[in-house]
Amino acid sequence: MSNDPQVGPVQTVTAPTPPGKLKKEAKPASLWGDAFYDLRRRPMFIVSCVLIAILLVMSFWPSLFTSINPFDAKTCELATARQGPSAGHIFGRDSLGCDVYARTIFGARNSIVIGVSTTIITAIVGGLLGLLAGARGGAVDTVTSRVTEVFFAIPWILGALLISATFRDANLGIWIVVIALAVLAWPMTFRIMRAAVITARSQDFVVAARALGASQSRVMFGHLLPNAVAPVIVIATINLGGFISAEAALSFLGVGVQSPDISWGLMIADARNRFLEAPLPLVFPAVFLSITVLAFIMLGDAVRDALDPKLR
């Protein structure tokens, strides 16, 4: 090797560590471990978790929050329809004279189960297929992308009506709504995931992993997924509110949750005809719906930030 005067002498960036000092900071760190450690310190995460916990308790044990059973017709009095808040009925009464507070509490289960399950199903199905299509490219990508385009071409309300009507006799209850919404909503998650994966795929660290001999699944789940999951988390938590209101639209059209069963969407749909005379029967379920959506969006935001080491 020749010595070029332009290049300086050997320099080291950091001072060499004395032997025996290696033990410090010995606990291995990982992305998910660090993310969880970081999450526990975020007020937004704690607030959203407390809210979600309260909502979940509300959906599974609604009688803890109210002594009135809204399914019991005796608790409704037509004579008192659309009455404002009073001592025993803090949210007032709806157009059939039923207690709005009790109905809101009991409606939580259907709305939350539909919103959360649809979100989870679309995130997993759309996310995995998007990851596969983006990572593999070629024929796998072409086929799955064309299939999603078929789903995109179906107007969702028609598609959901068709699916719900087809499986009406199967007695699936609210799960019909979950299936109908999930079938029509996964392509959006798919597209977002696919685009994010394609962006990540062309980066050098993926090439480096392949040069090391990393398997396809290691590249997909170790490198591509953590770098592509952020937009999917954001869109999934935003969609959650959309699914709860979509359920209302389906109820209004006569499929999905039907009276005398209760859901927030159904309550909002019922109350909006008389909104100007009696706004409260609409406002209360709408506020609960907003709080639910907000809690999940905050959770998603906190998780997304925790998964990005640069934002910690």
**Touching another protein, residues 278-307 (CB under 8 A):** 307
Angstrom distance (rounded) from CA 157 to CA 94: 28
Binding flag, residue 67, another protein (CB under 8 A): no
CB of 16 to another protein, least distance (A): 7
| Of 42, 82, 223, 304, the one binding another protein by CB under 8 A | 223
Position 277 contacts another protein (CB under 8 A): no
The stretch among 99-107, 220-228, 233-241, 251-259 that binds another protein (CB under 8 A) is 220-228
List CB contacts of 193: < 8 A, sequence separation 6 or more: 126, 127, 129, 130, 131, 134, 228, 231, 232
Q: Bridge partners of 99?
A: 93
Q: Which CB, 28 or 155, lies closer to another protein?
A: 28
Which is closer to another protein, CB of 149 or CB of 308? 308
Whether the bond between 19 and the residue before it is cis, its omega within 30 degrees of 0, is no
Please give the size of the binding site for another protein, defined by CB under 8 A: 47
Indicate whether 29 belongs to the interface with another protein (CB under 8 A). yes
Does 217 engage in binding with another protein (CB under 8 A)? no
Among 226, 231, 242, 279, binds another protein (CB under 8 A): 226
Phi-psi region of 213 (alpha: psi -120 to 50; beta: other; left: phi over 0): left
Q: Which stretch binds another protein (CB under 8 A): 26-34, 113-121, 159-167, 174-182?
A: 26-34
27 lines the binding site for another protein (CB under 8 A): yes
By CB under 8 A, residue 18 contacts another protein: no
Which of 30, 67, 171, 217 touches another protein (CB under 8 A)? 30
Closer CB to another protein, 210 or 272, in the complex: 210
Q: In angstroms, rounded to a whole number, what is the distance separating the alpha carbons of residues 231 and 190? A: 11
Q: Is 146 in the site for another protein (CB under 8 A)?
A: no
Cβ-based neighbours of 68, under 8 Å, separated by 6 or more: 75, 99, 101, 102
Given candidates 212, 217, 260, 277, which one binds another protein under the rule CB under 8 A?
Answer: 212
Among 74, 87, 146, 204, binds another protein (CB under 8 A): 204
Which residue, 79 or 311, is less far from another protein as judged by CB?
A: 311
Candidates 64, 208, 253, 287: give the one binding another protein (CB under 8 A): 208
Smaller CB distance to another protein: residue 22 or 79?
A: 22
Q: Does 7 bind another protein (CB under 8 A)?
A: yes
- Residues of this chain that interact with another protein (CB under 8 A) are 1-4, 6-14, 16-17, 21-22, 24-31, 34, 203-205, 207-215, 218, 222-223, 226-227, 307-310
